[in-house]
Amino acid sequence: MALIVQKFGGTSVGSVERIQAVAQRVYQTVKAGNSLVVVVSAMGKTTDGLVKLANAISTNPSRREMDMLLSTGEQVTIALLSMALQEIGQPAISMTGAQVGIVTEAEHTRARILHIETQRMKRHLNQGKVVVVAGFQGITSIEELEITTLGRGGSDTSAVALAAALQANFCEIYTDVPGILTTDPRIVPEAQLMTEITSDEMLELASLGAKVLHPRAVEIARNYGVPLVVRSSWTDDPGTWVTTPKPQGRSLVNLEIARAVDDVEFDTDQARVALLRVPDKPGVAARLFGEIARQKVDIDLIIQSIHEGNTNDIAFTVTTPILKRAEAVAAAIAPALRNQSNPKTEEAEVMIEQNIAKVSISGAGMIGRPGVAAQMFATLAEAGVNIQMISTSEVKVSCVVSATECDRAVAALRNTFEIEAGKEDTGSVSTPILSTQHSATPVATTGETPATHWLLSTPHSPPPVRGVALDMNQARLAIRQVPDRPGMAAKLFGLLAQHNISVDMIIQSQRCRIVDGIPRRDIAFTVARMDGEKTQKLLAQAATELGWGEIVLDSAIAKVSIVGAGMVGQPGIAAKMFEALAHNQINIQMIATSEIKISCVVAQEQGTQALQVIHAAFGLAGSEKFVVPA
Ligand code: ADP
Ligand code: ASP
Ligand code: MG
């Protein structure tokens, strides 16, 4: 007999008939001999409706009252589903987050889960009842009972956290699509279903805009090794498994806030090539990286900074042995880039830096926990280490620093994040590619006892691009003329972290300008659009104090990203993405990569098209078209 947590999203419980269909599925699973905790969302678009009501009364409602309001949606569904179960003869009991004892931080509207009481649920399970729990909500403490919510889409997180706390055999997320697809089928109906994806890949996709899973749900599944599957509410098809290597035993105390960083890594075998003043128009990145790919040069990080005037800087890192080849390509292409645009402009300039190292912290939920990157930057600042390039992703934050400072940087980071030195001391370290390891995944089919069936997935090389995601809810901020010295990134991101503002795609311009006798660079980054204006205000205050230049906000952007563990060590992936955009006259405003993802910022109105052409370029489209039920 297995203990299973099943979660049903808004559309799946959107009407009385659908709630009855869910009850039937739950009933069948129990009849097959399983114990069940069921987590549900609010019916259909109820939560959106509640947000609208609040906004009709206040432009800036209290976050405590928002939680009080939004948590009601789920309470309706738990009662109705329990009734539907009782009606077909299945004993069931509904429970709110408070009744279960889902204890969270006192951060209204975006609380992280600290602890889950399991006794009460277990007592009901032992009495043969299905426990129906309200998703997306918790309380600050058993004494205070202040209602909190986890953030929009957070019922997935409730479900996986419950599975971790109860040590359930697995967690099933039932939704309105057949599983995790190569991209959002609402935008690309030819998107294909995948049978499995690694938790690192899914973490990236989720945080880059694929809302099929809440990123924090994947984070918990990864950290606690919860087998997780996404399936359709309407069929018995197997869906998509999120695979995770067996994690070390983790304490269930401070479930969602404990230890974000698993490791500190470094690579001293790095060199940087920068092209300054390349024209800001479609096709430039495609040309450069197309040529680089043809020369079979494998690049690591790429950044393209925001344009100043009508030119950009593009920088990338390579391993030292192939630096000469990379440099030759860049040098050959630089004059052509100038001639193409405006012969009167200054020539694009190639800049090489050999004495660099990349230091990284890896774990889960880096973007979702802005304090982690801020802590990394602060640690480097305290150690007097200047950051030359930054790359962020949900599973890794990397900084390029001077090679002579690498040891100091690594020691300081290990100290801060309490990582023991040891296995990584040999120098260059690469990310383990999770999906090439054996992973044991239970095969769940309603009506069987899934825990008795284990599928051992065979090792195979993961595809370079597993999925493509679009985020239309981002804004870009640029700070002009930030003094180029240790501690600036720490100040900036420390400030944002204090206000819980998550930052993605951080880019420092490669060009240094001397203003008032101080070398300065521009820093640009993206944040959630709803944080855009607040961030601009915060930074404007800091700018006066710290001697920064103007703060520029652009909300009319879209971010399109490709994700795949198989892109590591595979030349030409970035080039293909940039070529697809160039071919369709889509200008790239910003580029940022990390090991398993590449993101480009484009104009908002070209976002959808960008997603479609990139998805097609990587041959991800299938012959079948998905129609997502309303
Ligand atoms: P639920 O209410 O069940 O939580 P959501 O609307 O939050 O459902 O998530 C499911 C939706 O996620 C799908 O309808 C689809 O439009 C969207 N989606 C975005 N990216 C993907 C993807 N890569 N695979 C599947 N669905 C995706
Ligand atoms: N009902 C909440 C929302 O719409 C939580 C969820 O559905 O996951 O965001
Ligand atoms: Mg959802």
Report which ligand 1 atom has the smallest distance to the Cα of 183. Answer: 23
Mean pLDDT of 15-25: 98
Q: What would you measure as the largest C-alpha separation in the chain, in angstroms?
A: 81
The reply to whether 513 falls in a domain is: yes
Cα 245 to ligand 1 centre (Å): 25
Same domain for 252 and 358? no
Cα 185 to ligand 1 centre (Å): 8
Mean pLDDT of 202-220: 96
- Asked if 362 and 392 count as a contact pair (C-beta separation under 8 A), the reply is no
* Ligand 1 pocket check for 184: Cβ under 6 Å: yes
d(CA 500, CA 494): 10
The token pair at 565 is 């563990």
What is the CB neighbour count within 10 angstroms for residue 537? 12
Q: Which backbone phi and psi does 618 adopt, to 5 degrees?
A: -90, 10
Same domain for 248 and 284? no
Same domain for 409 and 544? yes
Same domain for 234 and 282? no
Report which ligand 2 atom has the smallest distance to the Cα of 45. Answer: 4
d(CA 42, CA 288): 49
Taking the CA atoms of residue 157, residue 160, residue 165 and residue 171 in that order, the dihedral angle to the nearest 10 degrees is 160
Which one of 203, 228, 258 terminates a domain?
258
> Which residue, by CA, sits nearest to atom 1 of ligand 1?
9
The reply to whether 511 falls in a domain is: yes
The reply to whether 571 falls in a domain is: yes
- Asked if 393 and 366 count as a contact pair (C-beta separation under 8 A), the reply is yes
Q: Which backbone phi and psi does 549 adopt, to 5 degrees?
A: -85, -150
- Give the residue carrying structure tokens 């981002």: 474
Same domain for 290 and 229? no
Q: Higher model confidence: residue 37 or residue 292? A: 37
The token pair at 99 is 């009744």
Same domain for 272 and 240? no
d(CA 439, CA 614): 30
Same domain for 250 and 277? no
Residues spanned by the domain of 215 = 3-258
The reply to whether 62 falls in a domain is: yes
Neighbouring-strand partners of residue 264: 361
Give CA angle at 165 (162, 169), nearest 5°. 80
Same domain for 248 and 272? no
Residue 278 above 90 pLDDT? Answer: no
What's the confidence (pLDDT) of residue 607?
A: 97
- Asked if 440 and 458 count as a contact pair (C-beta separation under 8 A), the reply is no
Which one of 225, 258, 291 terminates a domain?
258
Query: Rg of the Cα trace of the chain?
Result: 25
Whichever domain contains 499, its CATH number is 3.30.2130.10
In which band, very low, low, confident or very high, does the pLDDT at 535 lie, cut at 50, 70 and 90?
Answer: very high
The reply to whether 437 falls in a domain is: no
Indicate left, alpha or beta for 313 from its phi (over 0: left) and psi (-120 to 50: alpha).
Answer: beta
What's the confidence (pLDDT) of residue 349?
A: 86
Identity of the residue numbered 558: A
DSSP annotation of 501: -
What's the confidence (pLDDT) of residue 334?
A: 84
Cα 359 to ligand 2 centre (Å): 37
How are beta strands 396-402 and 389-392 bridged, if at all?
antiparallel
The token pair at 448 is 């069987």
Same domain for 108 and 253? yes
Q: Higher model confidence: residue 513 or residue 229? A: 229
How are beta strands 311-319 and 240-243 bridged, if at all?
unpaired
Give kind and range of the element (H or E) at residue 269: strand 261-279
- Asked if 90 and 27 count as a contact pair (C-beta separation under 8 A), the reply is yes
The reply to whether 452 falls in a domain is: no
Neighbouring-strand partners of residue 390: 399
In which band, very low, low, confident or very high, does the pLDDT at 403 lie, cut at 50, 70 and 90?
Answer: very high
Whichever domain contains 35, its CATH number is 3.40.1160.10
Residue 255 above 90 pLDDT? Answer: yes
Mean pLDDT of 567-582: 92
Report which ligand 2 atom has the smallest distance to the Cα of 157. Answer: 8
Mean pLDDT of 297-312: 80
Which one of 216, 232, 258 terminates a domain?
258
* Ligand 2 pocket check for 281: Cβ under 6 Å: no
What's the confidence (pLDDT) of residue 456?
A: 34
Report the chain's mean pLDDT, rounded to a whole number.
89
Same domain for 288 and 399? yes
The reply to whether 549 falls in a domain is: yes
Domain count, the chain: 2
* Ligand 2 pocket check for 47: Cβ under 6 Å: yes
pLDDT digits (tens, 9 = 90+) for 446-504: 433 333 223 334 456 788 999 999 999 999 999 988 888 888 888 888 999 999 898 88
Same domain for 42 and 155? yes
Cα 218 to ligand 3 centre (Å): 12
Q: Higher model confidence: residue 590 or residue 248? A: 590
Mean pLDDT of 169-193: 97
Same domain for 243 and 317? no
In which band, very low, low, confident or very high, does the pLDDT at 335 lie, cut at 50, 70 and 90?
Answer: confident
d(CA 239, CA 212): 12
Which of 178-182, 274-278, 457-461 is predicted most confidently? 178-182
Residue 232 above 50 pLDDT? Answer: yes
Residue 433 above 90 pLDDT? Answer: no
The reply to whether 455 falls in a domain is: no
